[in-house]
Amino acid sequence: MIYIVKEKRDRLDVFASNVSNLSRSFCQRLISEGKILVNGKTAKNKTELNIGDSVEFLQTEPTKLDLEPKDIDIDIVYQDKDLAVINKPQGLTVHAGNSYDIEPTLVNALLYHLDSLSSINGVIRPGIVHRIDKNTSGLLVVAKNDIAHKSLAEQIEKKTCKRTYIALLEGVVKQDEGEIETYIDRSKKDKTKMEVSDSGRIAKTFYKVLQRYENYSLVEFSLHTGRTHQIRVHAKYLMHPVVGDDVYGYKKQKFNLKGQLLHAYKLRFVHPSLNKEMEFSCDLPEHFLKVLNSIENTKI
């Protein structure tokens, strides 16, 4: 498929997404793989387009899904013909890596429980609009068709999809509320980790203390951007890492946890076809409540 640029556009990935009805992230992947050409040549996501340029798609359809459905019990908070809202448990990976992982993922469960999933993100991430870490629990929205996927992805990109988390942090956070704005980039020492840096991508997080304890703080976080490990990295930046986080926090943990006490408890977005705002929330999981109950008598 070839499209001719009829008016000046800022960059290739935005134009490709607009004309093809594919998500911007999927178009970026096609561009990086040399499957979207400008005037017959490979280009970059940020390539500036001019009037008269031809943009050719060598691939417009994601590869057929071939992941195996698995009967994994998941909490489907809501679903209709366009989307589903899932309360993901701690310990379940959202999707496999580029080389198929052996352990079951949320995608395997979705293929079993839902009647359809969007194909925009290809064979590894069908339906996945955004993700949360394996050891973070809570809400995420899943697209059941490509039109819904594009709408939800645009809301996340434009920051109109609101995601709110609750975390238990080490130590007593003195300020009642605040805003953290830094650059976050891949760690130079460990490529599996992220870090606050002088360069990279801008990351903005809002926080509010809900309850203080003698040695801990229960904090609500709201994301303005969605960088990898953003809350965990920003909690470390505050010098109050998330309890249970042995990657960005303390290596020796007091509680017998299988991951960080970070829960995506609230999600708000505009429904792609109903065009009305929808908000969902879910309670803290049992493993989180167990720790809170154990420090209940240390409230400040």
Closest to 63 measured CA to CA, from 18, 119, 7: 119
Ramachandran region, residue 29 (left: φ > 0; alpha: ψ -120 to 50; beta: rest): alpha
Q: Is 150 helix (H, G, I), strand (E, B) or coil?
A: helix
Neighbours of 95 (CB within 10 A): 18
The whole-angstrom separation of Cα 43 and Cα 46 is 8
Structure-token match 């991508």, residue found:
201
Question: Residues 6 or more apart from 281 whose CB is under 8 A from it?
Answer: 139, 265, 266, 267
> Could you say which DSSP state residue 122 is in?
T
- 76: exposed, middle or buried (C-beta count within 10 Å: 0-12, 13-18, 19+)? middle
Catalytic residues: 133
Ramachandran quadrant class, 42 (left: phi over 0; alpha: psi -120 to 50; beta: rest): beta
Which residue, chain included where needed, has tokens 């809900």?
A: 210
Q: Which of 135, 289, 163, 298 is nearest to 217 (CA)?
A: 298
The answer to whether 115 and 124 are in contact (CB under 8 A) is no
Per-position DSSP letters for 227-270, written without gaps between them: -TTHHHHHHHHTT-PBTT-TTTS-SS-SS--SS--EEEEEEEEE
